[in-house]
Amino acid sequence: MRTLTGHAARQWLRRLTWPHTLRARLTAGLVVLLAVSCAAVGVAAVVELNGFLTGRLDQQLRESGVRFPASLEHGARLPSDHDGDEDGDTRRQIAGTFGARLVGETVANAAVVASGRSTGTLTVPLGAHDRRMLTGLAADGEGHTIELSSLGDYRMMATQGRDGDILITGLPMEPVEATVHRLELVAAVVFGVALAVAGVAGALWVRWSLRPLSRVAATATRVSELPLSSGEVEIPPRAPESDPRSEVGRVAGAFNAMLGHVEDALTKRHASEERLRCFAADASHELRTPVASIRGHAELALLHPGPVPRKVVRALERVEAEAARMGEMVDDLLLLARLDAGRPLESLPVDLTRLVLDAVTDAQAAGPGHHWLLELSEEPVTVRGDAHRLHQALANLLANARLHTPVGSTVTTSLETDHSHRTAMLTVHDDGPGVAADVQPKVFERFTRADRRRSEGTGGGTGAGLGLSIVAAVAEAHCGSVTLDSGPGSTTFTVRLPVGNE
3-state secondary structure 23-59: HHHHHHHHHHHHHHHHHHHHHHHHHHHHHHHHHHHHH
> Residue 421: which of 368, 497, 475 has the closest Cα?
497
pLDDT at 90: 59
pLDDT at 119: 57
Sequence-distant (6+) residues with CB within 8 A of 12 are 4
Q: Hey, what CATH topology would domain 225-343 get? A: Helix Hairpins (1.10.287)
pLDDT at 44: 92
Q: Quote the CA–CA distance of 433 and 404 in Å, as a whole number.
A: 8
**Which DSSP string corresponds to 438-502?**
TTGGGTTSTT----HHHHTT--S----S-HHHHHHHHHHHTT-EEEEEEETTEEEEEEEEE-S--
Q: Quote the CA–CA distance of 470 and 392 in Å, as a whole number.
A: 8
Q: Quote the CA–CA distance of 488 and 436 in Å, as a whole number.
A: 9
CA distances from 293 to 117, 319, 323 (A): 135, 11, 9
Q: Quote the CA–CA distance of 198 and 193 in Å, as a whole number.
A: 8
Query: Class of the 348-498 domain?
Result: alpha beta
3-class SS of residue 193: helix
pLDDT at 82: 38
494 half-sphere exposure, CB direction, 13 A CA radius: 13
In order along its 502 residues, the chain shows pLDDT tens digits of 445 556 665 665 555 555 667 777 888 888 888 889 888 998 999 999 989 998 998 888 888 777 777 777 654 444 444 343 344 555 567 888 888 888 878 888 888 887 755 557 788 888 888 888 888 888 888 888 888 888 888 989 988 887 778 888 888 988 888 999 999 999 889 988 988 898 888 888 878 877 777 777 777 777 767 666 666 666 667 666 666 777 777 777 777 777 777 777 777 777 766 666 666 666 666 666 677 777 777 777 777 777 777 887 788 778 877 777 777 777 777 777 767 666 677 888 989 989 999 999 999 998 899 999 999 888 888 898 888 889 988 998 999 999 889 999 999 999 998 878 788 899 999 998 988 888 888 888 877 765 544 444 444 444 567 788 888 888 888 888 999 998 898 999 999 999 865 4
Instruction: Give the H/E segment covering residue 224.
Output: helix 211-224
pTM of the model: 0.47
Q: Quote the CA–CA distance of 170 and 173 in Å, as a whole number.
A: 9
Same fold for the pair 225-343 and 348-498: no
pLDDT at 309: 78
> Which sequence spans correspond to the domains of the chain?
16-62+175-209, 65-172, 225-343, 348-498
pLDDT at 492: 92
pLDDT at 165: 83
Backbone dihedral angles phi then psi of residue 189, each to the nearest 5 degrees: -65, -50
Q: Quote the CA–CA distance of 252 and 260 in Å, as a whole number.
A: 12
Burial of 370 (0-12, 13-18, 19+ CB in 10 A): buried
Q: How many whole angstroms from its chain centre is CA 57?
A: 60
Q: Quote the CA–CA distance of 155 and 146 in Å, as a whole number.
A: 7
Sequence-distant (6+) residues with CB within 8 A of 280 are 333, 334, 336, 337
pLDDT at 449: 65
pLDDT at 452: 46
Buried b (16+ CB within 10 A) or exposed e, 279-301: ebbeebeebeeebeebbeebeee
Q: What angle, rounded to 10 degrees, do the helices at 387-403 and 467-477 form? A: 150
pLDDT at 181: 92
3-class SS of residue 16: helix
Q: How many whole angstroms from its chain centre is CA 68?
A: 74
**Which DSSP string corresponds to 284-336?**
HHHHHHHHHHHHHHHHHHHT-SS---HHHHHHHHHHHHHHHHHHHHHHHHHHH
pLDDT at 13: 53
Sequence-distant (6+) residues with CB within 8 A of 3 are none
Q: Quote the CA–CA distance of 212 and 275 in Å, as a whole number.
A: 40
